[in-house]
Chains A and B, each alone.
Chain A
Amino acid sequence: ETGVTQTPRHLVMGMTNKKSLKCEQHLGHNAMYWYKQSAKKPLELMFVYNFKEQTENNSVPSRFSPECPNSSHLFLHLHTLQPEDSALYLCASSQASGRPLAYEQYFGPGTRLTVT
């Protein structure tokens, strides 16, 4: 595998289900990100991890719970989601992030989530 991989690519879940999204990067990066991409809206940054430590949480509802066990893996645990959470969830990685972000981010193909 190369680059950034995400599984599953498609997920349909009911509002009472619990599921997890997985992201893995094979680039040797130290920063990882979760984004939400909804139609007609800018990409929304959800979480940032630097060296496994969460450094950003952009007021994301607690029904989304991230986990970063090491610099190569990132999870997004989902529970009791709402229909408006249906979107494409993108994972990205970069060299260690800083202020400002100078390093480009490498994106995975995304998980298309549908909440019914």
Chain B
Amino acid sequence: AQSVTQLGSHVSVSEGALVLLRCNYSSSVPPYLFWYVQYPNQGLQLLLKYTTGATLVKGINGFEAEFKKSETSFHLTKPSAHMSDAAEYFCAVSDTGNQFYFGTGTSLTVIP
């Protein structure tokens, strides 16, 4: 069965510090991987995705993620956190099925 694990339901970083949000998945086949962000009272917005090709993927707002097959991970990073990055972040995986499997989300707090 497909599963997505996001380690840490809450992450706090100082403004200007590195952001690292972790995502691990289980899949029996090469998956497609996505990161979404959700701001308060809004729907989810795509940050970036990996389907094939280069394993380091760059997204919007300075975020990037690296697909590591050997570690079954797709961690999201940003070199320098901004106050506007405070939001809920969701990792999602699609493999052979006709749906996404979402993690439970990580709430990011940015401390001034």
Residues of A within 8 A of B (CB): 4, 40-43, 45, 48, 55-56, 58, 90, 92, 97-102, 104-110
Contact = CB atoms under 8 A, between A and B. Distances in A.
Contacts of A92: 43-44
Contact of B98 (A98, A104, A106, A108): A98
A4 B42 CA distance: 11
Nearest to A91: B43
Interface in B38-54: 41-46, 49, 51
Contact of A42 (B31, B46, B97, B104): B104
Among A92, A99, A104, A107, chain B packs the most CB atoms within 10 A around the CB of A104
Interface string B1-35: 00010000100000000000000000000011010
Given A40-B104, A42-B104, A100-B32, A107 B98 contact: no
A56 B41 contact: no
Contact of B94 (A56, A101, A108): A101
Given A101-B99, A102-B94, 12 more contacts: A43-B100, A45-B99, A56-B98, A90-B44, A92-B44, A97-B98, A100-B94, A100-B96, A101-B94, A102-B32, A107-B44, A109-B43
26 contacts: A4-B43, A40-B9, A40-B104, A42-B4, A42-B101, A42-B103, A42-B104, A43-B102, A45-B100, A55-B98, A56-B98, A56-B99, A58-B99, A98-B98, A99-B96, A99-B98, A101-B94, A101-B97, A101-B98, A102-B51, A107-B36, A107-B43, A107-B44, A109-B41, A109-B42, A109-B43
Among B41, B42, B51, B98, chain A packs the most CB atoms within 10 A around the CB of B98
A104 B49 contact: yes
B90 interface: yes
A105 B100 contact: yes
Nearest to B92: A43
